[in-house]
Amino acid sequence: MNYKKNNSPYSAAITGCAFFLPEFERILPLMMQPDADRLLKEEVENNEILQVNNRKARRTFVLEFRRRFNSVPLNFWQAWQKWSETGRRVGLFYAIMKTYKLVFDFHFNVAIRHWNSIDHTLTKPDVMMELNEIAAHDEFVDSWSDNTKERCASQYLTYLRQTGLLVEKTNQLQPVRPDDDELAYYFRSGEEWFLEALLLYPYEINEIKAKL
């Protein structure tokens, strides 16, 4: 299907690429090189790093990894490489939120709303309700098949689980707090909103800010 149209800010591209932290880590050094285009094309053909048998899948993954990479400045990835695993998971989710408006809207309109309410659980029907609301105001999203919509909702929940924001068995939301020096990037870059996305409370955010 046609994943994106110019008159819509939304894309169903998340259905083609999971969280893939280890794979992204392996491909990141190529993306940071001046001749990244050539190196990535060679990787799609030769499969030396990704170790994904299907060429079409490799091409899709490389395309989406590149979009995530380009969604934030190079200095972010330079810092990201030195962070803890929690910091890297959180950082990849940040790049995903910057890449896909659908993920951003799911997170702020559904997950954070649940977190700020009495009910801290988050399920697929909750996400589907938001997607149906988006579709009601966006013809392109409305044109997606039911299967595509279901996959978008499922993929978003997978991103949350991989980041550590959603407990697998109970569907309970939970905050994730990397080291303060890792969180410092978001303050210094004017991206303080992302600490709210990690389900940290305002007083916690203020405490971290005071230490920096």
pLDDT over threshold 80, residue 2: no
> Tens digits of per-residue pLDDT, 66-107?
999 999 999 999 999 999 999 999 999 999 999 999 999 999
pLDDT score recorded for residue 1: 44
Cα 115 to the center of its chain, rounded Å = 18
| Residue with token string 């700020």 | 116
| SS3 of residue 83 by DSSP | coil
Question: What digits encode the pLDDT tens for the residues 142-164?
Answer: 999 999 999 999 999 999 999 99
Q: Which of 67, 65, 68, 92 is nearest to 182 (CA)?
A: 92
Q: How many CA atoms lie within 13 A of 151 on its CB side?
A: 13
Residue-level pLDDT at 28: 97
Cβ neighbours around 133 below 10 Å, total? 14
Give whole-number Cα distances, 104 to 29, 147, 161, 194, in Å. Answer: 26, 21, 16, 10
Whole-number Å distance between alpha carbons of 197 and 175 = 9
pTM: 0.94
Q: At CA 153, angle to CA 12 and CA 26, rounded to 5?
A: 65
Nearest to 24 by CA among 79, 73, 80: 80
